[in-house]
């Protein structure tokens, strides 16, 4: 099945602008266009774009995604290079997650302190209430 850009955008939950941007940046060199220049997306194309979206979600720069695509287009001889690129970004994401977890822990500790302070205030109010 082939999809027009609007249908592809809906299936991917992205804007048409995003798909056009990916095309302009050379990130979707495999997308076929008909004789009128209209993009026709296949299921395989959509899977590839899902990968692009995932790479952007982990803050991989467009230049590195372009590098990955160029390596991919060169075939199996670049598997090791693509693997190394993914290892670098996996490690980057791990560090990012560790930082987020550290921030979450700090926020949780602060919330516990506030909960304790609120509980202490309630206890003080109970002491003052002679009912």
* 21 and 47 in a common domain: yes
For residue 11, give the CATH number of its domain: 1.10.1660.10
* 53 and 14 in a common domain: yes
Query: How many domains, in total, are found in the chain?
Result: 2
* 62 and 11 in a common domain: yes
Bridge partners of 32, per DSSP, are 40
Task: Name the percent of the chain lying above pLDDT 90.
Answer: 71
Per-residue pLDDT of 80-105, as tens digits, reads 999 999 999 899 889 999 999 999 99
Residue 15: the pLDDT is 96
This prediction has a pTM of 0.70
Provide the domain limits for residue 82: 78-131
Residue 121: the pLDDT is 77
Per-residue pLDDT of 47-93, as tens digits, reads 999 999 999 988 889 999 999 999 999 999 999 999 999 999 899 88
**Sign of the CA dihedral 103, 105, 108, 114?**
negative
Through-space distance between the first and last CA atoms of the chain, rounded to whole angstroms: 74
């Amino acid at each position: 099945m082939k999809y027009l850009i609007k249908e592809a955008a809906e299936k991917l939950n992205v804007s048409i602008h995003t798909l056009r941007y990916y095309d302009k940046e050379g990130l979707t060199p495999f997308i076929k266009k008909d004789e009128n220049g209209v993009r026709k997306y296949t299921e395989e194309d959509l899977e590839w774009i899902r990968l692009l979206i995932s790479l952007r979600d982990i803050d991989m720069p467009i230049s590195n995604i372009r590098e990955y695509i160029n390596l991919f287009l060169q075939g199996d001889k670049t598997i090791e290079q693509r693997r190394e690129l993914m290892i670098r970004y996996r490690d980057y994401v791990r560090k990012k997650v560790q930082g987020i977890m550290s921030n979450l822990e700090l926020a949780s500790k602060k919330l516990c302190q506030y909960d304790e302070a609120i509980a202490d205030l309630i206890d003080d109010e109970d002491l003052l209430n002679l009912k």
